[in-house]
Amino acid sequence: MGERTQYTPGTFCWTDLSTSDPDAAKAFYGGLFGWEVEDIPVGEGAVYSMMRLGGKAVAAISRQQPEQAAAGVPPLWNTYVSVQSADATLAQATELGATVHAPAFDVMDAGRMGVIQDPQGAYFLAWEPKQTIGAELVNANGALAWNELATPDLDAASAFYGALFGWTIEPMDGPMPYRLIKNGEASNGGMTIPNPPGTPPNWLVYFGIDDLDVALTGIAELGGTALTPAMDIGMGRIAVGQDPQGAVFALFEGELDP
């Protein structure tokens, strides 16, 4: 179990869900992971619901922006990377061929952030911490445990993220192309090719789980869908699920980093 009070820049630090039905999503994930809910008003009737385990922030749920819904963007889990400066990161990302979809802005006194689409099309967010670092608990049952990029061009993605964050990206042996992301000496995520082919580039969020079989049964009972069966990957087992509103997430059962 990994409690955190800070993140090294370049580390995945947070995830939140943008969804069409926050109340239904809170019920689904609360039932699946045992999350406690703290609804935080954020102005003009909007609510940012902090999800907690043992009082520690692990994720959040909020209503999808009207512009996203109008554009047909499905509910999704967002991936955040901790950075020293959101403004500098967005400027560098642009120089490296990315598209900035939301220039850096302050989130009250919590931090500063921006939205980036990498050159291959996957979205992620840069988080410059102020009062809020991101997740206070990771690598635990019901907490953020891994982040994985599906991209059609592993070489180009490796070059982009390596230049942007200083990541070391190493190929791994296996039946599918896979690359391990390291931030310094710490394992920080992975990259693979889209499956099935033609799936848009995306970052997939993994949550730790103690018993994957129980969790897959729970997903179905709570109205979600198991998109894959449990798969053995040597170091543990994984599966991909979809909540009732359509957001996709993954689960990992196995030994987690501290």
pLDDT in tens, 199-232: 999 999 999 999 999 999 999 999 999 999 999 9
Strands 76-82, 123-129: parallel, antiparallel or unpaired by DSSP? Answer: parallel
The structure's pTM equals 0.96
Average pLDDT over residues 223-246: 96
Q: Which CATH number fits domain 2-129: 3.10.180.10, 3.10.20.30, 3.20.20.60, 3.20.20.370?
A: 3.10.180.10
How many Cα neighbours within 13 Å face the side chain of 68? Answer: 14
CA-CA distance, 99 to 231, in Å (whole number)? 35
Structural domain spans, the chain:
2-129, 139-254
Statement: residue 133 has pLDDT above 90 = yes
Residue 225 · residue 242 · CB < 8 Å: yes
CA-CA distance, 166 to 200, in Å (whole number)? 25
User: 198, 200, 256, 224: which is closest to 32 by C-alpha?
Assistant: 224
Percent pLDDT > 70 in the chain is 100
User: 106, 102, 81, 107: which is closest to 164 by C-alpha?
Assistant: 81
In the prediction, which pLDDT does 1 show? 57
In the prediction, which pLDDT does 6 show? 96
In the prediction, which pLDDT does 246 show? 97
CA-CA distance, 164 to 92, in Å (whole number)? 7
Statement: residue 43 has pLDDT above 90 = no
In the prediction, which pLDDT does 81 show? 98
What torsion, rounded to 10 degrees, do the Cα atoms 104, 160, 98, 165 define?
A: 0
In the prediction, which pLDDT does 181 show? 98
Average pLDDT over residues 230-242: 95
Please state which of the ranges 153-157, 195-199, 252-256 shows the lowest mean pLDDT.
195-199
Statement: residue 53 has pLDDT above 70 = yes
Residue range 139-254 in CATH 3.10.180.10: yes
